[in-house]
Amino acid sequence: MADPIDPESISGPRKAAIFLMAMGEEYATKAFEKMNELEISDVAFEMSLIDYITPEMLKAVSLDFVDQFEGESKMIIESDSFIKNVVKKTLKDKEADAILDDLEKKKQDKPFIWSRNVNVGTLAGYVEGEHPQTIAMILAHMPSEISSDILMSLPEELKGDIAMRIARLGQISEDVVRDVDRALKLELSGAVGPGGKAGGLQVLVDIINGVDKTTEDMVMEFVEEDNPEMANDIRNLMFVFEDLTSIDDTAMREILKKVEGQQLTYALKTATDEMKEKIFSNLSQRAGEMLKDDLDAMGPVRLAEVEEAQQAVVRAAKELEADGTITLGKGKDDVLV
């Protein structure tokens, strides 16, 4: 089963949802009392999409809880009853019922949201049988982390073509999105927002950022041959691990606060000397020495694990940029003087 959310890329309402659900109903009720109805509605909607909370998810919103929830165990969450109890304890019956009704409507309307709870292999098997243009539309509307997994699992000869179609995808009729969503969900009836979202370069970049290096190279080679200008645009939108050498030290220190120690050790396994120096120069002397000791003691590791760790660091950086905490500049046009 795919993780219900990407722990490295979390919106404000979702961060609040994870934290409050981890704290429990009584604490969440007190927090809701400080919010207005719109805020409660937004956070409650995010709560409804969460089935469990991994330690990585919790760390993304509160480093204070990493040790408490360390390991691979998951907190099983009865999100529907949790939300209902908290909302009803906070608001009057009429207001609570209105929010819960609206919440249920949002859950029913959001296309492909159910894909978070479907085995990716099963989902990819069904999607693969669709027309390439339909596959592109589906991947453009699914959560990007699910689309990345599906793109990696598709036959090699399809990956580049699907990527190009996503990049060129225009506005899709809401009715078409709903029809495809309904049909695919019906086919996968054993597994269990309005449409109209466009595809485009940014959608493709979000998906590429989540795939493995082999798939990324294959997609970019296909795009390069078909449309060199588009390939250049995609590269300009992408931000890779080694690009972090160009950011300022303040931004780097913010990123390091969000990265787990083991992830950083793995990420530096194949890093350039310049990248390592950038990291070490923004750590305390003690933290730097510990990291160097960990690197020296590390034996052979799979390249896929190193690449995943580097992607996790980049995702942390992008989340901070999305929050307005840091700026990730690429190219001369982004230099501040």
**206 or 152, higher pLDDT:** 152
Q: Which residues contact 325 (CB under 8 A, 6 or more apart)?
A: 254
- State the pLDDT at residue 76: 41
Residues of the chain with CATH 1.10.220.30: 115-237, 241-334
**129 or 247, higher pLDDT:** 247
pLDDT over 90 percentage in the chain: 7
Using alpha carbons, list the distances in angstroms from residue 234 to 77, 201, 204, 229, 336.
38, 7, 8, 9, 23
Q: Which residues contact 337 (CB under 8 A, 6 or more apart)?
A: none
Residue 315 and residue 297: Cα distance in Å, rounded? 26
Q: Is the pLDDT of residue 75 over 50?
A: no
**199 or 311, higher pLDDT:** 311
At residue 335 the predicted structure's pLDDT band, cuts being 50, 70 and 90, is very low
Residue 215 and residue 221: Cα distance in Å, rounded? 10
Q: Which residues contact 178 (CB under 8 A, 6 or more apart)?
A: 111, 195
On the 0-12 / 13-18 / 19+ scale of CB atoms within 10 A, 245 is middle
Q: Is the pLDDT of residue 150 over 80?
A: yes
Tens digits of residue pLDDT in 3-35:
444 545 567 777 788 888 888 888 788 888 877
DSSP designation for 66 = T
Q: Which residue has the tokens 């294959």?
A: 218
Residue 95 and residue 99: Cα distance in Å, rounded? 6
Tokens of 189: 């009836």
Instruction: Quote the crossing angle between the two packed helices 79-90 and 25-32, to the nearest 10°.
Output: 40
Residue 20 and residue 26: Cα distance in Å, rounded? 9
* Amino acid found at 203: V
Tokens of 61: 């919103």
Tens digits of residue pLDDT in 315-332:
888 788 877 888 775 433
Q: Is the pLDDT of residue 121 over 50?
A: yes
Residue 300 and residue 292: Cα distance in Å, rounded? 16
In CATH, what class is 115-237? mainly alpha
Q: Lowest mean pLDDT: which of 87-96, 143-152, 270-279? A: 87-96
This model's pTM is above 0.85: no
* DSSP element (H, E) containing 75: strand 75-76
CATH 1.10.220.30 fits 241-334, yes or no: yes
Residue 270 and residue 240: Cα distance in Å, rounded? 14
Residue 296 and residue 293: Cα distance in Å, rounded? 5
At residue 101 the predicted structure's pLDDT band, cuts being 50, 70 and 90, is confident
